Structure 1
């Protein structure tokens, strides 16, 4: 069950985006009213210049446009914001379409390459939950998205909203900076793109669309900490790409990139944007915000948010899917903010009330960000770190190679695998840490508290260490551990019992209790 798809923002009045030639001939069209636009294009094309209220065009070497429903009771301020936002969409939107004059590959090559890529994703990257719809309908949908690129002989383009920032909860992570977990995850994504290159000559590009500034004020992280995390992650990605022979396999974009704020490189220019008709947003957790990040959040919500009243009504009527997601977010935020300086002195009841408010705000932001990604990357293959049912348009991915890494609840023998609770997150490096245990053939991803408790009880000995990656003097942090006494014997038995072939099917360990949107 998705968050209610109702609203008056630009996203909810969006009808179609199109591309045309200089003669007015329709070259490409996408959007909820695509069929209708194609049917009546002979009429629309004649009236292009008279649709100033609902049609925006750009002719920077090509001709693209956006068609919207009429704005109800427009004011000059609203018109000014709409013009700004739609011009931005036209500059930033990536239709992923080739030059019409370029000949495409043969049908046989296209079909073979498409099927191989789909099968590769199925076995290499896809995360499978109990309510998985991949075989029923998702594989067909994913195939169509891949075919959009292979039929044109174009490089595949994936987008993955992920890698926001480290959790502020020190029971989960080792610190603010990217560590060995991020390195393992990025290496796994590079490996997938490399595998695509081996079967499809045009290759692929995987875009990580960082959502750090979307939620940073909700999860108690200062905007500058998000910026620092992102810059270090970009550096880590560049070094991984350099070591693997290609620095262009995985790329990063942030809200600041999507909203082109680098163009407004002075306080006076940014001040002009802030005077547009963009409402302020709620802040429930005390954090240090930057002007740029706050402006991005306001633009996001002004252009793409759904109706708060519709979401509130779904929750109050206890609609199962939405209520489960809301409760899941509330529990997650109660845990994540538990050790934050702003909440540490609060009573448990006040913490719960705060977490509920933050959960509602995060659901609104999450949906708005998903809407923005849909507008800007309409044909990209959309990946997610949430455990979707894989029916499309989003597909859950496992960030860690299951042959090399196990996500576990504890380091004790027979520990359960870490699962995605309430579909909020597949195990990620920004909510966990990495542990290397002497004698183990795999690495472990778990909560930092689990490791510290094992050290405190004497079950393990060890300390934080730095992974030497050959280029970066800073390295990537992880826990280097050694089991002691009986724990060592139990650990060896567990390792021996698990030395069996890793199944080729993706992990299947998620109890489906709701839905999410990123």
Structure 2
């Protein structure tokens, strides 16, 4: 009888197993749970890496800088929220390595310089934040992670020049973006979410609330334009990478939204909040003001790091108007370096 060759199904099977590791951390507003087959873009990309016997490369735009609102964060440098998030990402790569021996690499595409002028954060603070991310990665031995920012692309050019270059080459037009916001529900949700963050992060506004909201709606367009431009630049420099996002993404979208930690909602990030270590050993993200009510401030290496919940506060229901605390439970197979 003639010899037959079985279909090369192993790469796809392995890619499905890898995608199944990501699915519990999918950041989305969709209420339904999906299987790996509902993510054809990611399944194809991961399969290509597996078939080539190469490490899977993930790119994650995010980790821009700390919020400029001192009521939300403990300072302008990374703290326990980033430490936990970076450790989670490195651990995820470790779990992938058990399925796919070449492993995985996570490229953190720090985007603070891309829109720092629109969010009111000085470029010197953005540099300090990104440099500290690199230091944390090195100190914690998270060798599967690395940081990529505009300095890696355009060197020591003035920051305004870099922003103008990226915007001109890659950003969508304002008219096109407005049309998309009017017709696409996920883009509208993103626009509203960014507007809300801009309003919350403006701590020194002296005018009316309505004037602030109008200004933030205008700036939100610019933030989305620049974010899109940054994404296109990343695609140019890392064309085969698996695209992750810290924003909620629909099931099956070209980008896979990922939760760095469990949070009270799908928008909260470590750089817009403060970590609270609860008495049961779990973590939650709150604004700094909310965390201060519930816990005592902990310092690491001479800097504010997080809050530790006071024993008598355990189980207290937050007052009306506060954000409910959601436990940040990491799977038992993961070791948190703290």
Q: For residues 249 and 180 of structure 2, what CA distance do their matches in structure 1 show?
A: 20
Distance 1:220 1:182, change over 3 A: same
Q: For residues 304 and 115 of structure 1, what CA distance do their matches in structure 2 show?
A: 32
Paired residues for 1:17-416 under 5 Å: 107=8, 109-123=10-24, 125-131=25-31, 134-135=34-35, 138-241=38-141, 247-259=142-154, 261-262=155-156, 270=157, 291=158, 293-313=159-179, 318-319=182-183, 321=185, 322-337=187-202, 339-340=203-204, 343=205, 345-400=206-261, 402=262, 407=263
Distance 1:205 1:488, change over 3 A: closer
**Partner secondary structure for residue 39 of structure 2:** helix
Q: CA offsets per residue over residues 296-319 of structure 1, 9 Å max, x none? A: 11110111121223334556xx43
Using the size of structure 1 for normalisation, the TM-score is 0.56
Greater relative contact order (Cα < 8 A, sep 6+): 2
CA contact (8 A) 2:30 2:251 kept: no
Q: For residues 188 and 316 of structure 2, what CA distance do their matches in structure 1 show?
A: 42
Q: CA offsets per residue over residues 101-120 of structure 1, 9 Å max, x none? A: xxxxx946534432321222
Using the size of structure 2 for normalisation, the TM-score is 0.84
Q: For residues 218 and 195 of structure 1, what CA distance do their matches in structure 2 show?
A: 38
Q: CA offsets per residue over residues 178-201 of structure 1, 9 Å max, x none? A: 110100000000100111112211
263, 270, 287: which one pairs with 1:429? 270
**Partner secondary structure for residue 248 of structure 2:** coil
Q: CA offsets per residue over residues 324-349 of structure 1, 9 Å max, x none? A: 54344323311221x13xx2x22223
Structure showing greater radius of gyration is 1
Q: For residues 323 and 110 of structure 1, what CA distance do their matches in structure 2 show?
A: 37
Note the residue ranges of structure 1 that are not aligned, 5 or more in a row. 1-105, 242-246, 263-269, 271-290, 408-417, 455-459, 468-472, 492-497, 505-518
Q: For residues 129 and 295 of structure 1, what CA distance do their matches in structure 2 show?
A: 36
Note the residue ranges of structure 2 that are not aligned, 5 or more in a row. 1-6, 318-325, 333-338
Aligned residues: 316
Q: For residues 208 and 97 of structure 2, what CA distance do their matches in structure 1 show?
A: 54
Distance 1:158 1:441, change over 3 A: same
How far residue 323 of structure 1 moved from its aligned partner, in angstroms, is: 4.6
Q: For residues 357 and 482 of structure 1, what CA distance do their matches in structure 2 show?
A: 41
Q: For residues 475 and 364 of structure 1, what CA distance do their matches in structure 2 show?
A: 35
Instruction: Spell out structure 1 runs of 4+ moving beyond 6 A.
Output: 501-504
447, 468, 483: which one pairs with 2:287? 447
RMSD in angstroms over aligned alpha carbons?
2.8
